[in-house]
Amino acid sequence: MGTGRLVSCKNPSIRNIPAGWKELIQMLEGGKARVKVTQVRWNLPPLGWCACNTDGASRGNPGRSAYGFCLRDAEGNLLYAQVEEIGYATNIEAAIVAILEALRYCKQQGLHNIIFQTDSQTIQKILSEEWKPPWNITGWVEEVEEYKRDLDVIFNRTLREANTDALANFALDEGPLQCYLFEELNV
């Protein structure tokens, strides 16, 4: 494969690719790096709504797994956080269990307007009915659908940096945790 085809396979946006390696290296050395900066921030939910950040972690994928979620009100106050190990699972299984456990808690507490935020694009697309679930999580997805009938929920995807990754990993490192104040989160 020539240099032009190799470079265009890896980065189709590069134009006028030289045919020889020497010219290609000179072109790349003279180029300017493009840096993409993405601002990451957690936004307050609207008045009357709660935000629920969820995460699943799997060490080994599949491997030892855990979930975590935290609920915050429209002022950003922590209402509740929970983390727990779930045994041997994949990251997708842990992510759906996190949402399901959060839904169970919300229904039990009478919380009805919840904006879920997950860093799993797969889970967000499945729960927004853009993708079909894989066979191994179909039962959990059906259970989530049942909760959706009783609650007003929105499923959004967020970047990992704005999510609760530390919570799910806390369960794997330290064990289960339930708390109601940020100060109790020793994450």
In tens digits, what is the pLDDT along the chain, a chain of 187 residues? 566 666 666 677 777 777 788 887 787 787 777 777 777 788 899 999 999 999 999 999 999 999 999 999 999 999 999 999 999 999 999 999 999 999 999 999 999 999 999 999 999 999 999 999 999 999 999 999 999 999 999 999 887 776 766 888 889 999 999 999 888 876 5
pLDDT at 2: 63
pLDDT at 51: 96
80: tokens are 């509740």
16, 42, 38, 35: which is closest to 27 by C-alpha? 16
164, 143, 153, 79: which is closest to 114 by C-alpha? 153
CA–CA dist 35, 20 (Å, integer): 27
pLDDT at 32: 73
Residue type, 115: I
What domains can be seen in the chain, in order of their start residue? 1-36 (no CATH), 50-184 (3.30.420.10)
185: tokens are 């989160």
First to last CA, the chain: 50
116, 106, 113, 117: which is closest to 49 by C-alpha? 113
90, 62, 91: which is closest to 163 by C-alpha? 91
Residue type, 60: G
